[in-house]
Chains A and B, each alone.
Chain A
Amino acid sequence: MVNGQDITLGLIFAIIGGCAAWMASSYNGAGGTYPMILGIVLALLGATIAARAAIATQNEERPLVTAKANLIIALIAGAAYVALVVPLGFYTASALLMLCIPIALGFRRPIFTVVSAAVFVMMVWLIFSVILEKPLPREIWLTLGSGGGA
């Protein structure tokens, strides 16, 4: 419901603004005044949104999520990818992500998935590692192969 969401949103930012202003009060001189004013304004705007929603007479439906299961899958996969990209290596983690997300979301064409994962990871490798020479997290199998050295 719109009003419930807006009350929560307003309260969250009222608290954040209040905390920001309180932290800024310990900073010296003009370097503290500016963020303190911003914190107070943020708190006031948050409180306005919450108060406006609390006194509103109409309350419409506004779904926050349209497909909860798919969203949770994407969030978990995204967080796992961010967590694994350094320990596993960029391309290993990326290949796993390319294979796992489509399957987890119900895509049942394994050959298509594998081929597209291989083609995409190859393209990324060509562009970022070969052409642009960007340093990316080292692959775990390269580290293990070289006896654990960096």
Chain B
Amino acid sequence: MDFFVTSLSGIMAIGPILAMVGSTLLGVLIGALPGLNPVMAIALLLPLTYSMDPLVALGMVAGIYNGSMYGGAIPAILLRIPGTPASIATTFDGFPMAERGEAAKALKIACWSSAIGGIVSAIALMTVGPLLARVTLLFGPAEYFWIAIFGMASVGVMVGTDAVKGILAAVIGLLIGTMGIDSLSGQARYTFDQTWLLGGLDLIVVLVGLYALPPVLQLAEKCDLKGLSAAQLRLLAVPFKPGEIRSMFGTWFRSSMIGVSVGILPGAGGNIAAFLSYNAAKNASDDPDSFGKGNPQGIAAAECGNNADNAASMIPALSLGIPGNVVAALVLSALTIHGLQPGPRLFHSNPELVGGFMFEMLLTSILIFLVGGAAATRVFAQIQRLPGVLLVPSILILMCVGVYVINGRPVDLWVMFAAGVAGYFLEKVNVPLAPIILGMILGPMAEQSVRRALLISRGDASELITRPISAVLALATLGMILWPIIKALRAKRAKA
């Protein structure tokens, strides 16, 4: 109980409150713009948070994350263009409702469903997270090593469509993480006699490049010169039928549970939660044929499911150091830039910060009720009148200012640009980017832990697999890596 009281008092200051309100509004705007996504927005935001209080920085991350997941529903309903990948399922019933002249009602359902999903998810984070963190008190260097390897293996295998490419991406991240002076031996590694490489490649510089430049290049390719007209954005108020809201309670409950479960799984994202929730609502419905033709339950399920994934994805990230999705990896990056080491010890060494962030996830979900009302949604929808082509230079400028202010070094701009171009082409050939960042975050922890474990055991490598918890984690990692191979072999056999 003390943990929650201290955590809540930490965020009840003007800085974190303003950060949460402002960033939730900004998040809705970002989600409403097709082509922009929460990952890119948070990547752009992180460099600017260096000098901020960590709770202000994390409040901004929470607001952008929750806000943009709801904001993605606005173009999904009005235009059948998902603002974020997690809003794809919202288009199925949202757009048919908009065509019937019920866009305002559909947006209201999306707003309430997003807020409810987010609140349930935050409550799950606040209850399950501390329990899971207690287990980590039993961990030694060998367990820390396996936790890092398991995290990377699970994200490498589960993110994307090709497990080999996912693991390749994680190894790239691990190798980038070894660049610079080795903290244990003092040896310079992969520095190519460049003094600016002695500290290694800055995580945020690479992260901004990888996550912000590819969407910019895609926007340039798409070349939207017009934006929408005012007539396309006119919303008519349509009242709810009697009992219509009450009928959604079951859908909200079911979708929240699905979203939370998906969020806890490393590698699965909001889009999976939305699809599973949508299918579950359809299967449970008395009238499944009405789904896809403008059934409000479809919007409620999809939006509640994708927002219920948000805070739940932070459960493994904050308690074990394994991010459930890319945004959770970015949250770990945010902690790193504030001098905190993500991993199993985080919960015990910085309980106020972790607890404060949990409350920020909860409060920003509640804020969606306030900022996502009908009047506000009308304002947010207007952002779509802006021609997409103007966003290309705007985001490039924000990327450069964000990266330049970290170290004041022009060379970082080139590193960011190179990382972005590499990220653009890697995505095109189905190499996921999240494991690269995760490798950079968890790589140093994995290396230091394995070397400490070997020092303690005087070079006896069996120490890494003979302790009970590390043996379980090693087996889980092996299972995670072998799973796609077994699946492929089974599929081959079934085909033959």
Binding site for B on A (CB under 8 A): 5-6, 9, 13, 17, 20, 23-24, 27-32, 34-35, 38-39, 41-42, 45-46, 48-49, 52, 62, 64-67, 70-71, 73-75, 77-79, 81-82, 85-86, 90, 94, 97-98, 100-102, 105-108, 113, 116-117, 120-121, 124, 128, 132, 134-137
Contact = CB atoms under 8 A, between A and B. Distances in A.
Contacts of A117: 393
B421 interface: yes
Contacts of B401: 90, 124, 128, 134, 136
Given A23-B190, A71-B217, A38 B174 contact: yes
Contact of A41 (B171, B225, B400, B454): B171
Given A49-B164, A105-B223, A79 B417 contact: yes
B429 interface: yes
Contacts of B431: 9
Given A97-B393, A105-B389, A136-B401, 12 more contacts: A20-B175, A30-B184, A32-B189, A35-B190, A42-B171, A49-B168, A71-B217, A82-B400, A82-B410, A85-B400, A102-B393, A135-B408
A31 B410 contact: no
B185 A31 contact: yes
A56 to B, nearest CB: 12
Contacts of A128: 401, 405
A107 B182 contact: no
A5 B429 contact: yes
Contact of B410 (A32, A77, A85): A85
A65 B217 CA distance: 10
Interface of B: 48, 51, 164-165, 167-168, 171-172, 174-175, 178, 182, 184-185, 187, 189-190, 213, 216-217, 220-223, 225, 387, 389-390, 392-394, 396-398, 400-401, 404-405, 408, 410, 413-414, 417, 421, 425, 428-429, 431, 447, 450-451, 454
B394 A24 contact: no
Contacts of B392: 74, 101-102, 105
Contacts of A82: 400, 410, 413-414, 417
17 contacts: A20-B175, A24-B189, A29-B185, A46-B168, A62-B429, A65-B221, A70-B221, A74-B220, A77-B393, A79-B417, A85-B413, A90-B400, A90-B404, A97-B396, A105-B392, A120-B394, A136-B405
Chain B interface main SS type: helix
Contacts of B217: 71, 74-75
A90 B187 CA distance: 36
Q: Which of B216, B223, B393, B405 has the most CB of A within 10 A?
A: B393
A123 B334 CA distance: 25
Contact of A102 (B390, B397, B404, B454): B390
Given A97-B396, A124-B401, A45 B171 contact: yes
A31 B494 CA distance: 46
Contact of B396 (A24, A35, A81, A121): A81
B85 to A, nearest CB: 18
Given A74-B392, A136-B404, A35 B451 contact: no
Q: Which of B187, B394, B425 has the most CB of A within 10 A?
A: B394
B178 A35 contact: yes
Chain A interface main SS type: helix
A145 to B, nearest CB: 22
B332 to A, nearest CB: 20
Closest 8 CB pairs of A and B: A74-B220, A31-B185, A67-B221, A31-B182, A45-B168, A101-B393, A31-B187, A134-B405
Given A67-B221, A82-B414, A34 B429 contact: no
A75 B216 CA distance: 10
B189 A74 contact: no
Contacts of A71: 217, 220-221
A128 B406 CA distance: 13
A13 B396 contact: no
A31 B444 CA distance: 12
A78 B396 contact: yes
Contacts of A46: 168
A42 B405 contact: no
A124 B393 CA distance: 13
A30 B389 CA distance: 50
B223 A98 contact: no
Contacts of B454: 30
Given A70-B221, A75-B217, A116-B390, A31 B400 contact: no
A78 B185 contact: no
Contacts of A77: 393, 396
A100 B392 CA distance: 11
Contact of A98 (B171, B216, B393): B393
A64 B223 contact: no
Contacts of B447: 34
Given A13-B168, A82-B413, A124 B397 contact: yes
A1 to B, nearest CB: 11
A55 to B, nearest CB: 14
Nearest to B431: A9
A7 B317 CA distance: 35
A146 B182 CA distance: 45
Nearest to A5: B429
Nearest to A123: B394
